[in-house]
Structure 1
Amino acid sequence: MKKEYDFSNGVRGKFYNKDAKFNIPVYLDPEVEAFFSKLAKKQNTNLNHMINTLLFKDKELIELANS
């Protein structure tokens, strides 16, 4: 690293985008990931789709229980 950096020609907010959407990373335990990866492969779908489907079903159950 340099001792000093020259930001005199820098432009504030050059890459700022107020509408930017960031996805948070979700990390599964290795055992859980291995189980669902194998299941997704058997069902000819991808892991992301399978986990989202399960979470949507859990969400529905939670919403039903709270109403």
Structure 2
Amino acid sequence: MNKTPNINEDSFESDDLLPEYDFDYSKARPNRFASTPENRITITLDPDVAKIFQTSEAVNRALRCLLSAIPEI
């Protein structure tokens, strides 16, 4: 006597997860092993600026050049 229902795999053509998987995200916790940079912020660039500065390294390099041109107080 098999109590597990027979599931026709063709009925789940596009789904990767079966319906019996019910994830309760209210119990989710942050990953304690993931590194979190403490001094990192996120800035959104306008599309015209993002065309020129496509990586964060390019933006940082340009800002450091600009900062070196400003006299220290």
Bigger-Rg structure (1/2): 2
More helix by share: 1
- TM-score scaled to structure 2, two decimals? 0.42
Structure with larger RCO (C-alpha < 8 A, sep 6+): 1
- TM-score scaled to structure 1, two decimals? 0.45
